[in-house]
Structure 1
Amino acid sequence: MRPDLRAYLLDDDGRRVFGPGPVDLLERVGELGSLRAAAIEMGMAYTKATRLVRDAERAFGLALTERTVGGSGGGGSQLTAEARELIERYRAFERTSRRALSASYETCFSGFVDAPRLGCVVMASGEGARFGGEPGGKLLAPLAGVPVLERTLAALPADLLDVVVVTRWDAVEALCERLGVRCVRAGGPLKSDTMRAGLEALGHRAGCLFVTGDQPLLREGSVRSLVSALTHEPTAIVRLAWQGRPANPVLWPSDTLGALAGLEGDAGGRVLLDGHSELMCRVRLVEATDEWELADVDTPDDLARLEGALADRT
C-alpha cells in the first residue's frame, strides 16, 4: 500500500487551473514543437488541449505558448520562457509535496496493515558508576524481582514499535537474548555512539523513540500516547512530561533522525533543541500518569525509592 498525490493549483473560486494534465501537455509541446502533436500523443482532443492552455494563461496572466511559422511541418508551437519556468516550479512543488506526503503516510499509518512500525532505541550502554558493581549492572538489578531493563522493555508495545537495545555489556546482551529482544553493540562509550548504532540498526523509520534502559516504571499507556501524538501531528517532537516538566522518553520525527545520527560527544538529542527555536516550537508534551514514570535509576537509593513506588502502585 502506498499514498498517491495529484497536485492541483486552484483559482480564487476553487476551480482547477493547473495540474498534472496541463504540465504534461506543456512538456510535450516543448518536446514536439506542436500543441496538436502533443494532444494527439496524449490521446486528447485538440480543442481540449487548447482550452487547458488558455485557461492556464488566463489564470497566471502569462503567455505559455507562441506560434512558430514555416519549417517542414508548416509551423507549430513552442513554449515561452514563462512556461518553462512554470513547469520547473510546478515539478519542484510536486516533488516536495510527494516527499511530505510519503513522510506523513509513514508516520500516520506506522504499524497499521503493511506500514513499517516506528523505531525505538533503548539506551543501555552507560557504565552506571554511581550505582556501583559491574559496568551496566544497574540494568540487571532486580526491582521487585524483575531486572530494571526488563521492566523498561515491558512498557514498549510491540505492535507499535520495533525495539533495539544498544549496549556495551555482555550481561545486557544475554538478558535481551533471553527476552527475544534485538540487541546491538554501541560503537563507543558516548551517548552519540549509542544513538547512532541504534538508528543504523533500525534503518529508515518515520520516527524513533529514545528510551533510557533504567526507566523501569514507565507505563505502556504513556508510550502509546506518545505514538498517538506523533501520528496525529507527524512533524511533532513528542516528550513525556510530569506537570509540564519535559523528560524522557522522546519521540523524534523522521526529518530529525539524520541530525541525531550525526551528533558527536556525550550529549543526547537535547543539543538539537537548545538554542533552536524552530525545533522547540514543535515540541509537544504528553503527561505521564505519575511522576515515577520519569524516574531513572542512578544509585541504589533510587532503586529503593522505586521499589516503594512500585509497591504503592500495586
Structure 2
Amino acid sequence: MQPERVALLLAAGFSRRYGSDKRLAGSPPLILRTLATLLPNHDRVLVVLRREDEVLRRLLADSGAALTQVPIDGGLGDSLAHGVRTLLSQDGPIHSLLVVLADMPHLSPASLQALQVAQDGCSLVRPVYLGEQGHPVSFPADLLAELARLSGDRGAKQVLDRHIDRLICLTLNDPGCVQDIDWPDDPL
C-alpha cells in the first residue's frame, strides 16, 4: 500500500474572540470552504471536532472527510494529539501529515499542492508569505509519535523547534497562508 498524504483539520476550538461559532460563519460556512481546498489535494482528510459538536458532525457527515471528536474539550495540543492518535490507530502507512487550522479558508489549492511537492517525507514544510511564517505545516510520518504526545494549549511549535534543522520554509505568493479568521470583522 502506498503511503498516504493526509490532512488533519483542527476544528475543535470555541471561537471565543469571534463571539460565535466562526466555523459556521459565511456562506458556504467557513469550515466547508477550508475543507473544500483540502479534499482534492490529499489521500485522506480527518477533521477533529469538539466532544459535543453534533451540528458540525451532521454538517460534515457527507463531506468526504473522516471525523473524530475529542474525548475532552482541551487546548490546541490536545486536539492535535487526539487527531494524530486517531490516524495512527487506523490502517495504512502515512507519508506526511498536513496540520490545518479550520479558520483559514483563504488558502489556495496551488499553495497546498506546492506544500505537497516540497514534502520529501523527511522534512517539515512551512509556508512563508512576505517573510511571515504561516500555516498549514506539513510533518513527515516519523514525527507523528511526537505530535501524538502533545497536550494543553500549545500546538506543534515545540515539535517544530526541536526539529528546526529539518524545516523547509517555502515562500509562497499566497496571503491565505497567514490569514486566519479570529474576529467578526476579519474578511470571510
TM-score normalised to structure 2 length:
0.88
* Counterpart code for 2:79: T
- The 2-side partners of 1:158 and 1:269 are apart by 25
What is the aligned counterpart of 2:94 among 173, 197, 205? 205
* Counterpart code for 1:127: F
Alignment of 1:259-274 (within 5 A): 259-274=146-161
- The 1-side partners of 2:173 and 2:37 are apart by 13
Task: Establish whether residue 193 from structure 1 lines up as the match of residue 78 from structure 2.
Answer: yes
Q: Which residue of 2 aligns with 1:214?
A: 103
What is the aligned counterpart of 1:227 among 101, 111, 116? 116
Alignment of 1:92-131 (within 5 A): 114-131=1-18
What SS class does the counterpart of residue 137 from structure 2 fall into? strand
Q: Rg bigger for which structure?
A: 1
* Counterpart code for 1:125: A
- The 1-side partners of 2:170 and 2:39 are apart by 17
What is the aligned counterpart of 2:28 among 146, 160, 164? 146
- The 2-side partners of 1:162 and 1:263 are apart by 22
- The 1-side partners of 2:174 and 2:8 are apart by 23
Could you say if the C-alpha distance between residues 187 and 236 of structure 1 is closer, same or farther in structure 2, counting changes exceeding 3 Å? Answer: same
* Counterpart code for 2:131: G
Task: Establish whether residue 174 from structure 1 lines up as the match of residue 58 from structure 2.
Answer: yes
- The 2-side partners of 1:194 and 1:288 are apart by 27
Deviations 1:171-210 (A, max 9, x none): 2212211423211101222212211221122225222110
Task: Establish whether residue 289 from structure 1 lines up as the match of residue 173 from structure 2.
Answer: yes
Q: Report if the CA contact (8 A) 1:157-1:220 is conserved.
A: no
Q: Which residue of 2 aligns with 1:184?
A: 68
1:238 Cα deviation from its structure 2 partner: 0.3
* Counterpart code for 1:151: R
Q: Report if the CA contact (8 A) 1:216-1:293 is conserved.
A: no
Deviations 1:223-271 (A, max 9, x none): 11111111xx321100111023211100001111111101122111101
What SS class does the counterpart of residue 82 from structure 2 fall into? helix
Could you say if the C-alpha distance between residues 294 and 285 of structure 1 is closer, same or farther in structure 2, counting changes exceeding 3 Å? Answer: same
- The 2-side partners of 1:177 and 1:281 are apart by 39
Deviations 1:116-167 (A, max 9, x none): 321211000000011113xxx100111xx21111111111143533101001
Unaligned 5+ runs, structure 2: none
1:286 Cα deviation from its structure 2 partner: 2.1
* Counterpart code for 1:171: V
Q: Report if the CA contact (8 A) 2:104-2:181 is conserved.
A: yes
Deviations 1:279-305 (A, max 9, x none): 112111222333234211111011xxx
Could you say if the C-alpha distance between residues 253 and 176 of structure 1 is closer, same or farther in structure 2, counting changes exceeding 3 Å? Answer: same
What SS class does the counterpart of residue 252 from structure 1 fall into? strand
- The 2-side partners of 1:292 and 1:206 are apart by 25
Unaligned 5+ runs, structure 1: 1-113, 308-314
Q: Report if the CA contact (8 A) 1:157-1:224 is conserved.
A: no
- The 2-side partners of 1:293 and 1:238 are apart by 13
* Counterpart code for 1:191: L
